[in-house]
A and B are shown apart, each in its own frame.
Chain A
Amino acid sequence: MKLRASGISDTGRQRDGNEDYFAMDNAHGLYIIADGMGGHSAGEVASKIAVEIIRRNITNWMNKEPLEDELFDLADPTLGQMGNYILSSIKLANRVIYEMSNEYNEYKGMGTTIGVLAIMPSTVISANVGDSKIYLLRGSAIEPLSREHNMVAEQLEMGLISKEEAKNSPLRHVLTRNLGSLDTVNIDIFEIEPREKDRFLLCTDGLTDLVSDEEILAIINQDNDMEHICQKLIDEANERGGHDNTTVSLVRIEQLKDKRSGILKNFLPLFMRKK
């Protein structure tokens, strides 16, 4: 499998610091994004801790295939191995942030959103908490692979407000779940079957507050250069005020299956010269 990824994190036009954090790991097909919150620099600490704990744990587990009881919390039987690695690592990050914010005054009230995407040849898994988003771009369509955990999304689901009202609601920044505020956390997780040329976008609300899904789709489809696209998305958010930090991370499946597949794969090295 061949993956390509590009990402940018930008402070925006109105904030002093950047509380967003992200990681991209093509070798493990792992992409993580986080948007921290909390006074002083606690938000920066929370998002960084979350991303690093999750990345280290998942890659460790992938390399050594742990026993089930090495995982944090009980395994979810409706998920495969990788799904459980992801859930377990997010729960662990939540607990660490929660305990830090209770233990130390300077970290009081810190928290973060999280979005995790794992791409494997047979499955793509996305998991999230909070309002950072993960999108699937397949063909000419854009589709969410994450659920928003804020008041507005819940009001919409319950039919209390209209889509128009949701756009301008003052409650759109009120999260109903995050990492760090409770000792346990509920995580939404989705699995899909990957396709060659699938693209995935992970982004924080700095982008989605200001740029609609359709506009994001148009920007991504206009260009082939992934770095270019990321910069364009950031510029678009900043041109519209850039009131928040904005982070975007774009991944593309260049090649799904190794060309040397099937039975020949085992014999190819025998008659191919080494370079």
Chain B
Amino acid sequence: MARIILVFNKKVIKEYPFTKDSLTIGRNDTNDIVIDNLAVSGLHARIDKSGDSYILTDLQSTNGTFVNDKIIASHKLQHKDKITVGKHLLFFAMSQEEQAKLKVAELDRTMILDTAQHKELLEKQAREKGVEASSQKPMLGVINFIDGSDQGEIKLTKKLTKIGKAETSEVRLGGIFMPPTAATISRRPNGYAITATGGKTKVKVNNQTIEDSHFLNDFDTVEIGSYKFQFYSQESEEEI
């Protein structure tokens, strides 16, 4: 349970346990924390418990409410905050369990860092660890036909590259038994993967026929029917 400790002239006057959902502070007798002093407004301020946190609100008092010597309208109280009302001081104290709980809750809250902040943080960490903070350029896959056909080198700039006889294929291959789409290469979070799309034409990676998807490593050799090409990746020009 949190507590409010009322202090005047460096002496503790009274301690108030936080037993309700909100406590009011003021000169009137009806307040939870009564401070009989002319510098304090009748109804001066209020502290509300909201979940695991405590919010202090100034109720438009004449002389204002201060937290750690700064004037506030509304303020989320931290452990050991010093609240000034007139000439009186109120110290806000949380129990250890509450402090621990709040810490965990703050970490579990999702937050967003703006780009400048997060770049700075990463660069700082990289310097401390002595790792070269490489400007993160994405890797671009390339296939290079080595079967003597005139296809040459093709960059896999699309997310999904279709290989086959169809006119809409990014890589068009001929041949009587070549299906409209014999295989596709997709750029996935874990790298480039080739998928055999079925049909009579076999797709082989390093001489092994593949049934489904297969992640491509640098210099893997792929055969589709009589065509043969090699896969490798290079640093891309584009930024992420």
Contact = CB atoms under 8 A, between A and B. Distances in A.
B210 interface: no
B38 to A, nearest CB: 35
Contacts of B186: 190-193
A170 B107 contact: yes
A74 interface: no
B158 interface: yes
Nearest to B239: A186
Interface stretch (B9-17, B85-93, B123-131): B123-131
Contact of A192 (B108, B121, B131, B195): B195
Interface range on chain A (Cβ under 8 Å from partner)? 35 or more
A176 B118 contact: yes
B100 interface: no
B189 A145 contact: yes
Contacts of A246: none
Contacts of B126: 158, 160
A111 B112 contact: yes
Most B C-beta atoms less than 10 A away, residue of A147, A160, A244:
A160
A37 B112 contact: yes
B160 interface: yes
Interface in A192-246: 192-193, 195, 205, 243-244
Contacts of A254: none
Contacts of B107: 170, 173
B113 A176 contact: yes
Interface in A163-204: 170, 173-178, 181-182, 186, 188-193, 195
B110 A190 contact: no
Given A154-B122, A176-B118, A143 B111 contact: no
Contacts of A205: 110
Interface string B129-144: 1010110100000000
Contact of A16 (B51, B115, B134): B51
A269 interface: no
B108 A173 contact: yes
A151 B121 contact: yes
A37 B111 contact: yes
B207 interface: no
A111 B188 CA distance: 26
Nearest to B159: A191
B157 interface: yes
A155 B112 CA distance: 16
B112 A178 contact: yes
A175 B213 contact: no
A158 B122 contact: yes
A205 B111 CA distance: 13
A175 B121 CA distance: 13
Contact of A244 (B108, B197, B240): B108
A262 interface: no
A157 interface: yes
Given A192-B160, A192-B188, A158 B131 contact: yes
Interface in B137-169: 157-160
A105 interface: no
Given A138-B213, A193-B195, A205-B110, 15 more contacts: A37-B109, A78-B157, A83-B159, A144-B190, A155-B125, A157-B136, A160-B125, A160-B126, A160-B129, A173-B110, A175-B111, A188-B189, A190-B186, A191-B186, A193-B160
Q: Which 7 A-B pairs have the closest CB atoms?
A: A191-B160, A191-B159, A193-B184, A192-B186, A37-B110, A144-B189, A175-B112
Interface of A: 16, 35, 37, 78-79, 83, 111, 123, 125, 131, 138-139, 143-147, 151, 154-155, 157-160, 170, 173-178, 181-182, 186, 188-193, 195, 205, 243-244
